[in-house]
Every structure is written in structure tokens, then in C-alpha cells.
Structure 1
Amino acid sequence: MGVGPWPGGPEQWPDDPRYDPELLAQGDRRNVVDRYRYWRMDAIIADLDTSRHPLHIAIENWGRDFNIGSVVRTANAFAVAQVHIIGRRRWNRRGAMVTDRYQHLEHWEDVASFARWCADEELPILGVDNVPGSVPIEGRELPRAGVMLFGEESQGLSAEAREAAEVILHITQFGSTRSINAGAAAAIAMHAWITQHAEIPGPTSR
């Protein structure tokens, strides 16, 4: 994965401060899209900040859920504004595949403090869980600026999280399993927002 050293040696290196001399010399093996090859990490973050979407993602972390890393990775792929971890500060970053370095992350001790921040920022909280009383996300008009809040894999949203949510949405299922993986559910829900609010580019060429 990645690319080798910039061809031609230092005299051929691009004259652009966004490029990292070490990466130009040694190659870039990072998990980044081609247009960010050889860029410094801070330059990539700054560029992403010019086009992040006004969608926030929040995840409860009371038992060190292993799905958090995959949720962060998906949030990075969809350029969400920020990912909020509620509960335990520590979480398994392996599934993030280093994307957490490029994604704004915020920690909250509990649901109450996070909910107060959302109220101050005028961001509605949309819970995502297949619990009684939840409504299908399919066909639902999602707010452009808002928060999608996910619970843990085993327990789903806590009672406090359900109380803080303006509405609780579920992903319609048709098979025999009671629920789908929390990381997969987060990806589906984020993409539902993307299809409504993001500017979708045309076909890509490689």
C-alpha cells in the first residue's frame, strides 16, 4: 500500500509547504487518498477542516467497545465534524486504522454533559438503536446539522442516552438476526445522512 520515494531526487521535489520532506524521501505508506500523498499530517487536517460536514457522531463507551475504532474510521471517510466518546476515555484504536489522527475527537464523562453541549450548540441528538418506539431511518428527513448517537454493541443506547435523544431511529432489517454490528449500523446511518446532504461528485478515474 502507498507509494515509494518521490521520483527524481530532492531537486525534483514539489515546492509546496504542505509536502513532508521525510515522506518525499522515504515514500508514503499511510492509509490516505492519493491527493494527500506526501502531505504533512497537519496539512491534511487543515485541508479536511475546510470541507467537513456539520454532522457529529457520538458513541457511548462504558465497556471499551471494540467497534469504536471502526466507527471513527467511517466518520473520517465521511468527513464528519467531530466524533464524541462518552464514558471511558480509553478505547481500542486498532480498528480506526490510524484515521483517528485526522479526525477531531472529543471526550465526555457522561451523557448529561454531552447533552448540555449539544443544547448550547443547537445540535439535535438522534439516537440510533432498534428499540421499541424507534422509527425507521429510511425515508426520514435528517437535520443537516446534528448528532447521531450510538450505544455499545452489547447493550445499545443507555437509558440516559435514550432520554437525551430527540428521536431514536432504527435501520430496517429483514433477516433472522435481532441486530447488526454496531460499526456497520453506524456506517449505514452516516451514509443515510450523506445521501441527503453531501455534494456527491461524479464518476472517479484512477
Structure 2
Amino acid sequence: MRDYNYLTVFVDRAPTLLNALGEHLFMTIVAVLLGCIVSIPLGIYLTRTKVEWIRSTTFTIANIFQTIPSLAMLGILLPLLGVGLVPAIVALFLYSLMPVLRNTYAGFNSIDQGVIQSAIGMGYSPAQRLLQIELPLAIPYIMSGIRLTTVYIINWATLATLIGAGGLGEPIISGLGVYDKPLIFAAAALSMLLALAADFLLGLLEKAFFKKNYGKKKKQMNTEV
């Protein structure tokens, strides 16, 4: 018989909830990092390539991954990778690609070509233009994509428990099995708060990058020109 309620469940079931929260954070961080490692360089490459079919095919594939329902994605990966953490992270990684890829591409395409030409005129090498001019100007867009994909992944990771990967979905499923409403509420509340906290903190980081890099670089280029 349970001797806790909606108010005390966070204390009475703290070990269970903290363990689930840790698993949820781990899956989210790994998936988002992997997504950034792939999507940011790929997005930069797509702004450079002149081959239209490469660009369109890449976006089509990323969009297909984005639109596959979560349960269907897990069902596809289950016979290929089995159960546990690996298929869950692979699924979350595939979901993380499109927002970061799209925003990276948009960020680099939004850069004023006059700024690029000014950098070329001042003798910047391609690597210097990328690292010192283009990337700082595109970072606000990239951060917006990372922010969006992180919130998505936090939500999708709740279903990872269905293939034995743990996370905050585990106490929710366990609570449903024994009709433990306080436990269900606590896990769902933590998942919601985690998404809200990530959105808020990454939003602050996005604004900080915008103020520090975007305004400063444009002012610097205009002054030098």
C-alpha cells in the first residue's frame, strides 16, 4: 500500500525519479551532441555544394526521419539493434538531425554576401572566413535549431522505456501498471520541467550568442570596410 501522495512522492520516490531523470538526460545529451556533430558540418557543406540533387536528397532523407512516428521508429530499429540504450539513442539521433541541419543551412545562407566579399578583400583565408566571420554570424540560427531539437528529444525520449532504455518514461509506465497516479504525475512533471528548463536555458544562450557575435562581427566588418 502506498503511503505517499502527490506532494510527498518527489521525496518518497526520489531514488527512482532521480535515476530515471539521469537516464533521460544522458540519452538527450548524447543524441543532441551526435546530431550536432553530423548536422552542422553537413549543413555547411550543403551551402557550398553546387549539386542540387545532393542538397535536395539530404533534406528529404532528414525530413523522412523527422516524420516517422516515434513508436514506428522504435519498431523499425528493434529487430536491427535489439533493445536497450543503443537503439533508443540511434532513434533520438535520427530525430535530432533535421532542426539543426535546417537552421545551420539557413544561418549560413542568411549571411550578407557583402560581408563575405569584404573578408575576401581583406585577405581572409577560407578557413578564417568560416571560423571568424561565417560561423559567428550563423550561430544564432544554429542555437535556435539546437534549442528546438533538444526540446523535441526530451519529449521523444519518454518512449525509450518501451525498448528497455529507461528514462522518465519508465516510472510513467510502471505507474500505469499499478495505477500509481502520484508516481505518474511526478515523472510526467519532471519531463515537462526538464523540457521547459532546456528551452529557457538554451534560449538565454541563443540570445547571448546573438549579442556577442552577431552585432560585434557586423560592426567590425562595417568599420573595416
Q: TM-score range by the shorter chain?
A: under 0.3
Q: Which structure shows the bigger proportion of residues in helix conformation? A: 2
Q: Which has the larger radius of gyration?
A: 2
